[in-house]
Amino acid sequence: MLKQLKFAAIALLVAVGFTACSDDEPTPAPAPLRGEAGMYVINQGNSYGNVAGALDFIAQNGTKTDSVFFKANGQLIGDAPQKPIIYGSKMYVPVFASNLVWVLDANTATVIASVQTSQPEAVCASNGHVYISNNDGFVTRIDTTTYTKSTPLAVGPNPYGIAAANGKVYVACSDANNYGAGYANSAIAVIDEATFSKVKSITNEGITDPWEMAADNSGNVYVTTPYTANKVWKIDANDNVSALCDGTYIATNTQNRTSRATGKQDLLYVIHAVTDWNTYTTTISSSVYNAATGAQLSNNFLQTPANTAEYTFAPICMDVNPANGDIYVCSDNGSNGYAKPGYINVYTSNGAFSKRIATGIHPYGVIFK
């Protein structure tokens, strides 16, 4: 009898299970992708003109809210903010001259915490930690639950770009203050995430004064040398280095991609900008590469907008919307227009010019929400 009751109970549970999974149940809506809610724009301002930085927000429908940090917190964001990241539900904003990293609620821009750290240049995140490159020669690690910071780790002179891949953190030690000696101590420092220790320095005669870094989903890390060779360098998962192409600014389309995101390939976008400082004119070319194979997929990818006579394009950085593949290029108002409000050129995922968005002074990155 007990055996029969047991089978009857199992049959009842199975029947309930089939009912719960019936076609009559509504299908839950897919989770929103980063970029579908809108984007933050960080403006560095102009410290020489006594103009502080600012954080603005642009909603998906185009509605722009200026100075959301100030409105949310009743104070300025600080002097010379660098490009933030969103990791989980929080945004991390390094502010170079204020010697701190703000931890913000990514939805409201309200301050959760501030972490004091010397001359923060850039941030990246991996496995529950945020890593900060400090221009004074160190990397600091923040725990994203307690906001406690590690003892700073010495990595090399004047770190700038930073990226995480393959259980490692790569740091572009630019040696930027050593111009007279040709940036002789330039290197890419490699940190083991598990132990938070520097395990090696990658050197290459072409990588002098390395700057911006980006990682892809294939385990590659890219670094630019815009002030020397003006090239993009590739570091593969085994830390082999090769020169990929001419280039000044880079972006990958790997940020929080899912099956609903436009484009399945790992892509690297490159802008090559050359400025004639006698005339303050900048010549731009652009290309797209398959990140997994290194093959060039397109040359002169970004199409010239029709109203080029109305403004001078002077790119600062590039970002890719993970929700739809659109490309956002921040620009000053001309090569000598760093004291004037800038703008963002927006291109579709196919490279067609879409629109121009007005910003504050020296827009320094788009952070998709």
Residue 31's pLDDT is what?
62
pLDDT per position as a tens digit, 144-184? 999 999 999 999 999 999 999 999 999 999 999 999 999 99
Residue 103's pLDDT is what?
98
Among candidates 124, 37, 41, 123, which has minimal Cα distance to 77? 41
Element (H, E) at 124: strand 120-126
d(CA 189, CA 87): 23
Residue count of the chain: 369
Among candidates 355, 356, 364, 359, which has minimal Cα distance to 340? 359
- Confidence (pTM): 0.88
Q: What is the mean pLDDT of each run of 10 residues along the chain (369 residues)?
A: 38 39 55 83 85 92 93 95 94 96 97 97 96 98 95 97 96 95 96 97 93 92 95 95 95 58 72 84 88 89 70 84 91 77 92 92 94
CB atoms within 10 A of CB 263: 13
On the CB side of 231, CA atoms within 13 Å amount to 14
Residue 255's pLDDT is what?
53
Residue 9's pLDDT is what?
40
